[in-house]
Chain A
Amino acid sequence: MHSRAATIIGYVLGFALLFVIWHLASRYLVSSVLFPSPFPVFERGWVLLEEGLLQESVWASMRRIIQGFLLGSAIGIPIGLAIGSFRPVRLLLEPWTEFFRFIPAVAMITVAVIWFGIGEESKIFLIAYTTVFVVVIATAAGVGAVGKDKVRAAQCLGANKFQVFALVALPATVPYILTGMRLAMANAFVTIVAAELVASNDGLGKMLWDARLFMQVEDIFVALISLGLLGFATDRVFRLLIRAFAGRFNPTM
């Protein structure tokens, strides 16, 4: 319990220090209207919350992230398992992953908009796209890393091929899958902002873009802080999940 309390205090102090430095910098280093101090930003954030605009943008972005992310994972996990388990599948699909993972989702925005318009579909497609390859690679690596003796032990306890897969390879791969999903989630944040900047009617990216058009510098900062906090919170959730499912037997994660 002690160490948990220390962690929380550390985080609170760390964030407080960030805002202190920000305040001092805006006051003495770059005093300019283009770099506001945290106080007007917080005030503006409060107003946006009261008007319900901030929640709206946050929810629009998060909804897309979650939908695309779940879709991408649902496609990526089985493909990763297949690539890791069957050599022919790996030989066939590895070129795909090796090719597509170097075409960033941001570069796909134009195609996505042409294909799916500026509505939800294009965002979900882009998030799913950015998620899929990370999850595929992490999952396939996990299957490949299953200890030889774990498989052998199951075989000489009478396991057939399906049982080896379902009861040994799959659970042993879960930590890798979760780690891949955690990395993919970070990509999803990058992608959603870029996509909403370019083509969207709502969301945090759109909020950033509009604020730039109308020179509402405080709004920009509110959107940036929201992104940071959202990402931080989601990553925490993933760390908790990884700990719950895998940390027990893998203290390094």
Chain B
Amino acid sequence: MVAFVELDGVGMTFRGRTGAYEAVRDFNLELSEGEFFCLLGTSGCGKTTVMNMLAGFDTPTSGQIRLEGKPVRGPGADRGVVFQGHDSLYDWLTARDNIAFGLRLRGMGRGERRAIADRFLNMVGLKGQGDKHPSELSGGMKQRIQIARALANDPRMLLMDEPFGALDAMTRAVLQGELSRIWSENRKTVLFITHDIEEACALATRVGVMKRGPGGTLKAVVPIDLPFPRERTSDAFMASFRQVHELIHAEIHPHA
């Protein structure tokens, strides 16, 4: 049986004026359909590079990436992306038109677009905010719009690059809860990039810990076998947190 997503000996070496930089080396991972995989690593470990290759923004210099058995070549509507900053939203469109952007690209009619966009506005808790422009929304609301925009396009999987990284701690916790609820409802396959251990343990069905860069690669994969919604103060959660923490700690303080 073919895995839903396969990263097969993937490597990425950037060549610049200052020489070559090997960001990712021999990265192997298989994702099954419907799982929420968090890729956790310190800054500069290459986790965003992995996501960019899966999204099709960068082409691996070695190895191959396959989605449902087909090699990934360039970006496509089967992989929805939620970006870290909200610079990816279209400032000249309303929240609703941002969410419906992918549907418009497919030539869907206005009425149908509107109905779908409103459904996803409700899903991300922004009912009645559809006529506002991004500049009128808070940072947390903008990330909700990004999530709704990616989901409204009904991709095969979702790629999220530290989507809550720029938010304050309170908003971040709220959005983590919302994302967990949405995922529990639709069970889309998710690859979620983060450097926040608690975030990874709260959201993921499996957490992949990366080695330090350069030449970042997967160090270990930890299954988090806890029911949703997760109780962050429970002993079981703490145990998972400790387990992941020890793995990542060795990468932060390699000589300790």
Contact = CB atoms under 8 A, between A and B. Distances in A.
B250 interface: no
A250 B88 contact: no
A248 interface: yes
Interface string A138-151: 00000000010110
B57 interface: yes
Nearest to B103: A157
B5 to A, nearest CB: 15
Contacts, number: 74
A253 to B, nearest CB: 12
A156 B90 contact: no
Interface string B114-127: 00000000000000
Contacts of A197: none
Nearest to A168: B90
Contacts of B85: 149
A111 to B, nearest CB: 41
Contacts of B133: 248-249
B91 A156 contact: no
Contacts of B56: 155-156
B55 A156 contact: yes
A241 interface: no
Nearest to A249: B91
A147 B89 CA distance: 10
Contact of A157 (B91, B134, B135, B153): B153
Contact of A155 (B75, B92, B106, B135): B75
A155 B76 CA distance: 6
A251 interface: yes
Given A153-B83, A156-B77, A158-B77, A147 B153 contact: no
Contact of A158 (B92, B106, B135): B106
A147 B85 CA distance: 11
B92 A147 contact: no
Interface string B139-168: 000000000011001010000000000000
A172 interface: yes
B87 A147 contact: yes
A132 to B, nearest CB: 26
A171 B87 contact: no
Interface in A103-160: 147, 149-150, 152-159
B88 A152 contact: yes
B105 A158 contact: yes
B105 A156 contact: no
Contacts of A157: 77, 80, 101-102, 105, 149-150, 153
Interface in A167-201: 167-168, 171-172, 174
Contacts of B105: 154, 157-159, 163, 167
Contacts of B92: 171-172, 174, 246, 248-249
Contacts of B23: none
19 contacts: A150-B88, A152-B55, A153-B88, A153-B89, A154-B101, A154-B105, A155-B56, A155-B75, A156-B56, A156-B75, A156-B79, A156-B155, A157-B149, A158-B106, A158-B153, A159-B105, A168-B90, A171-B90, A246-B92
Interface of A: 147, 149-150, 152-159, 163, 167-168, 171-172, 174, 246, 248-251
Given A156-B55, A158-B106, 5 more contacts: A149-B83, A153-B88, A154-B105, A163-B105, A249-B92
* CB-CB nearest 8 A-B residue pairs: A249-B91, A158-B77, A157-B102, A149-B88, A155-B75, A153-B88, A156-B75, A147-B87
